[in-house]
Amino acid sequence: MQNQINNNEIHCKVQYGDEFRRFLLPQGSYASMLEQIRALFNFSNNEELSIKYTDDEGDLVTISSDEELAFAIELFPNSVLRLTLTSSASQQCWKGREGSHCGKWAHKDDKDRWEKMQAEKAEFWKAKKTFKAEKRETKKACKGGEKWESKRAHWEAKREKILNDPELRKEKLEHLDNKLKKLQERKQWLQSQADANVNPSFAHRVAHITNKMNRIESFRAMLVDPVATSPASVAPGPWNREKWESKRACKAEKWESKRACKAEKWESKKAHWEAKREKILNDPELRKEKLEHLDNKLRKLQERRQFLQGKVDANVHPSFAYRLAHLNAKINRMESFRAKLANPANATSPALATPINPSLI
């Protein structure tokens, strides 16, 4: 054997987990090597050890006798004998909080460290849970206490303001009647969809809209007869009529300014459309191209109208009727404009003509 240093000593390098040890084996005896390894890694005599090495083909081969050790030394005569060590303790798992743990958590010291780490994590999560519970209670108290009382006072002040003004109460009642009418139509359609089992969500939507209508009807009844429904514990809130009138005047002024701006913009667009109409009427080639474009567009709109008419006849959804009416009005405007282009001599004078929709030009 050439893998000998002095007095038949064999240079060995052992790996156990992340730990490496080097030692000199005095003689090629498996028993002496096993005893020396136990002393290096502090293994007890009752602990079973498995010693392996990687051969020339890359396989892990177990050493369990003097003959196998001699063969391993002969296989690597001019190099260090590299050994891999596993013990019975590293292969036995112990159950912790989050399942089984083997290998580096198998020893007692590592196990104690793991348990300590788990205890720290448990304490951290317990503190976090307590903090969240306190925060939730504080938020709940805030919602049910000062914040809710503030909102309630605001609602009561608004209610008293409506009750003390007959005109405002009348406007509010009309608004509620229109809203209830729309909600009733919506509820009828949702109920038909729920009865047809179109989707399970329609039943929940019917219940939601029913609750909403009940709240609105209750509020409307309070406006109609405030004496019978007025809570005795709530005192009437103050109302400043001058402030309300000032606010209404400001809104009216803003609305008039907006209307004037829209009217000015519409007049500008109308003048632009009339100039473009005259340009088309005075140019035969441009008028011919426009007529072809209108014919193609009318054909597509007719196909769309047939599709919508089928949906309306099948009573698929109430919105198809509104869309069909809108499409019919668009087709009528387009046919009127086409008739003017086809026979400009009989067309209405530009001064008396109705405004042309910009989508037609």
pLDDT digits (tens), the chain, 361 positions: 444 445 567 888 898 888 888 888 876 688 888 888 888 888 888 888 888 998 888 888 898 888 888 888 888 777 788 898 887 655 544 444 444 444 444 455 566 778 888 888 988 998 988 888 888 877 766 655 566 677 778 888 888 888 888 888 888 889 989 999 999 999 998 888 888 887 778 888 888 889 889 988 888 888 887 765 544 434 444 445 676 777 788 888 888 888 888 889 989 888 988 888 888 888 888 888 888 999 999 999 999 999 989 888 888 888 888 889 999 999 999 898 888 888 877 654 443 344 444 443 3
Confirm whether 251 is domain-assigned.
yes
Confirm whether 263 is domain-assigned.
yes
State how far the Cα of 83 lies from the Cα of 63, in Å rounded to an integer: 9
Nearest to 295 by CA among 255, 252, 256, 341: 341
Same domain, 338 and 247: yes
Same domain, 261 and 347: yes
Same domain, 14 and 109: no
What is the CA angle 329-334-339, rounded to 5? 125
Same domain, 261 and 329: yes
Confirm whether 262 is domain-assigned.
yes
Same domain, 208 and 275: no
Last residue of a domain, one of 238, 260, 275: 238
State how far the Cα of 14 lies from the Cα of 37, in Å rounded to an integer: 8
Same domain, 162 and 268: no
Same domain, 211 and 270: no
Instruction: Find the domain containing 264 and state its range.
Output: 242-360
Last residue of a domain, one of 103, 126, 144: 144
Same domain, 260 and 320: yes
CATH assignment at residue 47: 3.10.20.90
The two three-digit tokens of residue 3, written as one number: 């893998």
Same domain, 80 and 155: no
State how far the Cα of 159 lies from the Cα of 219, in Å rounded to an integer: 10
Confirm whether 3 is domain-assigned.
no
Same domain, 56 and 156: no
pLDDT digits (tens, 9 = 90+) for 6-26: 556 788 889 888 888 888 887
pLDDT at position 230 is 47
Last residue of a domain, one of 184, 215, 238: 238
Q: What residues form DSSP beta bridges with 85?
A: 51
Confirm whether 127 is domain-assigned.
yes
Residue position matching structure tokens 């100039």: 275
Confirm whether 1 is domain-assigned.
no
Same domain, 158 and 100: no
Same domain, 340 and 247: yes
Confirm whether 275 is domain-assigned.
yes
- Total tally of structural domains belonging to the chain: 4
